[in-house]
């Protein structure tokens, strides 16, 4: 009996080809959507994040309000203003050291920090992101033993028509 006439052999051949095609498709999808982030100390970073959440909850209970305002449309190589408001029961925190830290989500190579200046009601900084793509912006406020912070994910694009970081949305990201 030849291979073409045997239904069992044909079924096995089709199954093998389907598995090969599915594996190639999954490898291609993984290569396109992987952000390249590796956390060396996953357990410790998870514990630190738990401590951050507990501190944030305590500050919220004390009435501290932190508002981190980033531009609605983040353009790269264009100076834009970032603002931070920190207050407790409508009283603004003055004379604090406020720093905004920018880091690419693919690694610390392009990391930089900018001190923010107090203008009477808000802390502000003019920042120009040097590269397109995803950025993590972290603001840290310190005054004596008081410490607070916030985080935003940004996507630096060329202009409003640039699909930038959303090009895979719907295709791979749900």
For 48-66, what is each residue's pLDDT tens digit? 888 888 888 888 888 888 8
Residue 27, H or E segment = helix 7-33
Q: Which residue has the tokens 């912006």?
A: 137
What CATH number has the domain bearing residue 156?
2.60.40.10
Question: What's this model's pTM, rounded to 2 decimal places?
Answer: 0.65
Residue 173 inside a domain? The answer is no
**Per-residue confidence (pLDDT) for residue 35, from 0 to 100:** 58
Q: What is the pLDDT of residue 125?
A: 95
Domain assignment present for residue 49? The answer is yes
Kind and range of the H or E element at 53?
helix 42-61
Query: Token pair of 144, please?
Result: 């004596």
Residues 122, 85: one domain? yes
CA distance to 60, 100, 107, 133, per residue, from 76 (Å) = 33, 17, 18, 9
* Same domain as 101, residue 28: no
Please check whether residues 73 and 112 belong to one and the same domain.
yes
Kind of pairing, strands 117-118 and 64-69?
Answer: unpaired
Q: Tell me the residue range of the domain where 128 lies.
A: 42-166
pLDDT digits (tens, 9 = 90+) for 63-122: 888 899 998 888 888 999 999 999 988 889 998 999 999 998 676 678 899 999 999 889
Mean pLDDT within 16-39: 82
Nearest to 127 by CA among 66, 97, 83: 83
**pLDDT mean over 37-52:** 80
Q: How confident is the model at residue 24 (pLDDT cuts 50, 70, 90)?
A: very high
What is the spatial order of strands in the sheet that 146-156 belongs to? 107-115, 97-104, 133-143, 146-156
Quick one: pLDDT band at residue 157, thresholds 50, 70, 90?
confident
Phi, psi angles (nearest 5°) of residue 106? -95, 5
- Do 28 and 55 reside in the same domain of the chain? no
Asked whether residue 174 is assigned to any structural domain, the reply reads no
């Amino acid at each position: 009996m030849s291979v073409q006439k045997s239904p069992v052999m044909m079924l096995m051949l089709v199954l093998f080809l389907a598995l090969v095609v599915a594996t190639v498709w999954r490898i291609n999808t993984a290569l396109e959507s992987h952000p390249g982030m590796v956390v060396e100390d996953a357990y410790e970073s998870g514990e630190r994040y738990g401590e951050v959440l507990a501190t944030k909850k305590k500050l919220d209970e004390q009435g501290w309000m932190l508002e981190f305002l980033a531009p609605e449309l983040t353009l790269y190589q264009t100076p834009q203003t970032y603002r931070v408001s920190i207050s407790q029961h409508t009283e603004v925190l003055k004379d604090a050291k406020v720093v905004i830290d920018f880091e690419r989500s693919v690694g610390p190579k392009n990391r930089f920090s900018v001190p923010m200046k107090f203008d009477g009601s808000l802390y502000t900084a003019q920042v120009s992101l040097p590269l397109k793509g995803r950025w993590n912006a972290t603001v840290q406020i310190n005054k004596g033993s008081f410490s607070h912070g916030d985080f935003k994910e940004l996507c630096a694009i060329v202009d409003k028509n640039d699909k930038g970081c959303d090009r895979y949305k719907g295709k791979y990201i749900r």
